[in-house]
């Protein structure tokens, strides 16, 4: 590889009360309890019932897995020491945003002042993955092409079927909540970095945003880091799922860059079309039928996943992540997080039991 496609991972965890299995606003306890080991890796988020954990800059997926495992082990132990639990999942099955406290920070005060209940109600948990890019110009080109694959990656991550005690009928209801925010969703096509910068400059000049971090697209060339950031995925439960998704993202970036180096590319489609596939992925996850716009036909997700893995196959071994990428077939076999949550609920008719399952899956393979 002529470029090292570094990896940085941010995971947003639910903080759970051991008695009620409800969310509890105790992020300060987690951060204070973990400061000896995790002080550089834990962050507050908008709600005090969420803690964000982030890796450093990892050179490859093996390094990312090792660091994530170590960090998750310490986070889980810290939570247990505080008589709390942490869990993956894009939404909590029954907690109500109205009873969850907003973190007192100037940044979050400003967002709430600007957006009111849209911000207060944004009690959702995501996975963000940064992949290193050669430069911003190439990053915008990669972003344009990558938009096509976002629904495919998203379907694998779907893990938020419940919202405030209801079975929503979606495999990922998280995105239906987040869409209320401005500047979300699949980004538009930009001809070059200058055109993208002009868009950002206009928003800043008109007082719409104070900086480019207020652009919350599903994918963005990061305004401050030399990365492209994937923001579309629900927070997974199992660490293996996070690692799989990150590996696929890294391979897609590397493959598209490789094509560009050969003066090749991948056909670009309008956001109107891409949004159709995103909707299908949100509704039905890995059981969706997605549209192949070139063939103008719909196909089962499994068929398109096979095509995606074939598309990146020639970079997988260079990046030494074949095992991690092929875990996607385990997700297909066992179900996405949403499928597994729904199976527990069907068997138990208890949302508390679903939370128990989410906690156990988050701890799976860590100790």
Q: What is the pLDDT of residue 266?
A: 84
277 Cβ partners below 8 Å, 6+ apart? 151, 152, 290, 291
SS3 sequence, 265-284? CCCCCCHHHHHHHHHHHHHH
Is residue 2, in this structure, part of any structural domain at all? no
Global pTM?
0.96
- Stretch 251-259: mean pLDDT, rounded? 97
User: Tens digits of per-residue pLDDT, 148-205?
Assistant: 999 999 999 999 999 999 999 999 999 999 999 999 999 999 999 999 999 999 999 9
Residue 1 has pLDDT above 80, yes or no: no
Q: Which pLDDT band holds residue 130 (cuts at 50, 70, 90)?
A: very high
Between the CA of residue 255 and those of 244, 271, 277, what are the distances in Å?
16, 21, 22
Q: What is the pLDDT of residue 19?
A: 94
Q: What is the pLDDT of residue 101?
A: 87
Task: Give the residue numbers spanning the domain of 70.
Answer: 7-363
218 close to 185: Cβ distance less than 8 angstroms: yes
Name the CA dihedral angle for 332, 265, 5, 236, rounded to a multiple of 10 degrees.
-30
Q: What is the pLDDT of residue 105?
A: 84
> Which tokens is 87 given?
């869990």
Q: Among candidates 332, 273, 340, 339, which has minimal Cα distance to 306? A: 332
- Stretch 348-352: mean pLDDT, rounded? 98
Q: What is the pLDDT of residue 195?
A: 96
% of the chain exceeding 90 in pLDDT = 85
Q: What is the pLDDT of residue 252?
A: 98
State the CATH number of the domain containing residue 178: 3.30.590.20
Q: What is the pLDDT of residue 173?
A: 98
Q: What is the pLDDT of residue 2?
A: 63
Is residue 298, in this structure, part of any structural domain at all? yes
Number of domains in the chain: 1
By CB atoms closer than 10 A (0-12, 13-18, 19+), residue 193 is middle
Q: What is the pLDDT of residue 194?
A: 95
């Amino acid at each position: 590889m002529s470029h090292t496609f570094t990896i940085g991972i941010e995971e947003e965890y639910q903080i759970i009360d051991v008695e009620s299995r409800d969310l509890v606003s105790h992020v300060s306890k987690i951060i204070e309890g973990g400061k000896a080991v995790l002080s550089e890796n834990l962050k507050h988020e908008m709600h005090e019932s969420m803690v964000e954990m982030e890796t450093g800059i990892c050179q490859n997926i093996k390094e990312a897995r090792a660091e994530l495992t170590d960090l998750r082990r310490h986070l889980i132990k810290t939570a247990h020491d505080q008589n709390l639990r942490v869990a993956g999942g894009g939404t909590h099955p029954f907690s109500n945003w109205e009873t969850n406290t907003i973190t007192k920070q100037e940044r979050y005060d400003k967002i709430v002042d600007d957006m009111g209940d849209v911000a207060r109600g944004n009690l959702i948990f995501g996975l963000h993955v940064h992949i290193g890019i050669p430069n911003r110009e190439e990053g915008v080109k990669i972003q344009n092409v990558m938009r096509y694959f976002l629904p495919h990656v998203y379907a694998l991550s779907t893990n938020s079927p419940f919202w405030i005690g209801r079975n929503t009928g979606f495999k990922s209801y998280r995105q239906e909540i987040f869409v209320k925010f401005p500047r979300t969703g699949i980004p538009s096509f930009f001809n070059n970095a200058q055109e993208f910068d002009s868009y950002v400059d206009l928003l800043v000049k008109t007082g719409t945003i104070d900086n480019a971090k207020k652009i919350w697209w599903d994918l963005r060339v990061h305004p401050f880091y030399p990365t492209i950031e994937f923001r579309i995925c629900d927070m997974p439960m199992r660490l293996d799922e996070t690692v799989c998704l990150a590996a696929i993202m890294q391979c897609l970036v590397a493959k598209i860059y490789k094509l560009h180096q050969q003066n090749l590319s991948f056909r670009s489609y309008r956001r109107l079309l891409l949004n159709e596939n995103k909707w299908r992925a949100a509704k039905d996850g890995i059981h969706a039928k997605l549209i192949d716009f070139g063939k103008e036909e719909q196909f089962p997700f499994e068929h398109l996943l096979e095509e995606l893995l074939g598309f990146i196959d020639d970079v997988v071994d260079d990046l030494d992540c074949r095992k991690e990428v092929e875990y996607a077939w385990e997700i297909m076999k066992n179900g996405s997080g949403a499928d597994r949550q729904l199976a527990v609920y069907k068997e138990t008719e208890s949302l508390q039991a679903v939370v128990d399952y989410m906690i156990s899956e988050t701890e799976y393979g860590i100790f």
